[in-house]
Every structure is written in C-alpha cells, then in structure tokens.
Amino acid sequence: MFYWLLKYIFMGPILQLMGRPKVEGLENIPSSGPAILAGNHLAVVDSFFLPLVSTRRVTFLAKSEYFTEPGFKGWLKKVFFGGSGQVPIDRTSADAAENALSTAKRLLGEGKLLGIYPEGTRSPDGRLYKGKTGLARMALATGVPVIPIAMVGTNVMNPPGTARWHFSKVTVKIGKPLDFSRFDGMAGNRFIERAVIDEVMYELMQLSGQEYVDIYAASLKKDAADKPKPAEPAQQPDRMPESAAG
C-alpha cells in the first residue's frame, strides 16, 4: 500500500513536476511474469523514476546500510526504502554475492520485476562503466529476460554528490528484452557471464548515448578517495617578524 501511496500521492506528483518525465518503449516491459530491469545509474532519483513510469511494481536490490542506520532518521529511511520497493542486501559479507543471487531467485520466482544497476554504483561523471557479472549470474540461473533501461537527464535534475533537485527534463528509455536462453546450462562459466553482461552494457550504451569506460566505477571512486590530497600552500605571515623588520 505504501508503495502506491508514494507513487501516486507523495513522490509521484513532485517527480512529475520536477522532471517532466518522458518514457519510450514502455511496451517492452511485460504485463506479467518475471524480468530483470537493468539500468544505468546516474543519480539517486533513478530508483524513483523507473517505478513512476512502470505500470507494474518494481523491486530493487539495495545496500543494507539504507535499512540499518540507528535513530529516528534511520527508522524513516528504513520505512521509506522498504515501502518504495527496495530489498536490503548485505554487500560487505563474504557471502554477499550468494545472498544477492538467492534473493533475486526468490523475487523472480514470485513473478516480480527486479531492478538492478549492473555498474554496482552511481556513475561519478555521467559516463557508463563496466558491468559486474552478478546480473549475468541471475539471468542465467533463472532464465528470465533482461530489459535494458536507460535514464537520461536524472544527473541534471539530481547532480551527483548532492541532495538537491533542479527542474529538468528526464527521459526513460526502455529497450527490447534480451534473451540469453542460448546459454542454457552454462551458468557459472565466467566467460559466458562476461559475454552476457557486456551485451547488456552495450545495449545501455546505445540507449543512453553515454560514453563507455571499460573499468569499474567503484574502482575509480576508490582510487580517487585513496589519492592523497595536494598539500595546501604555506600561509604568509600577516606581518614580518620583529627580528626581520629592521
């Protein structure tokens, strides 16, 4: 119930006003049955615009930190993200990949639409980054179609690193379902998994028009965080020391 209240009463009207969303290819989302919705990831609001334009409920796998923050603020986040169709996944444990796969299997087995960002994190600069093979493992293990979905303009409405929203124009482009049944029985083959995710990323590049970068976005962010900051130049004294004043 809270999901639909958010969509039609609370969040939906604001998103319509701020983003004036346009959707292309909505007919490519099946009216029933399971599917993986694979999207590029430019901004936090990506997870709001896809459910807004879809006539069916979309469930996302989300990092568990959204659900475990203490205090009243943490409780509000838990209620909001849970109510908006997000399922927590612990990405820090040794079994993170297996937990994500088993959760995906359960949700898809229930006939749901599962939203996933194959880049694994938001793009730091608007480019499209290398996809992680977790999505490929889910697709091969379940046999469900993968539908590429490109968000265009969400990073203008909600610039990376900020919580601000600006009036903008958002377009959601939904591609044709990708069928990987030709790889039946090949789940677990890392070369096949890489071929599958590369095909998904190619379709996202075509839909979004983004420049593709063949490295992981998370690695780029880590390198930037680990890079030592340049030393600040020494400040000049306001006046010369007494001994040098003559």
Query: Which of 26-30, 59-63, 73-77 shows the lowest per-residue confidence on average (mean pLDDT)?
Result: 73-77
Strands (E), the chain: 22-24, 35-39, 58-63, 86-89, 113-116, 128-129, 146-152, 171-174, 212-213
Angle, CA of 216, 141 and 218, to the nearest 5°: 10
Q: Does domain 1-219 have CATH number 3.40.1130.10?
A: yes
3-state SS class at 235:
coil
Q: What is the pLDDT of residue 243?
A: 40
Interatomic CA distance for residues 143 and 59, integer angstroms: 18
Domain map of the chain by residue range?
A: 1-219
Confidence of residue 211 (pLDDT cuts 50, 70, 90): very high
Averaged pLDDT, 172-200: 95
| Position 85 pLDDT exceeds 80 | no
Residue 100 has which token pair? 């994500």
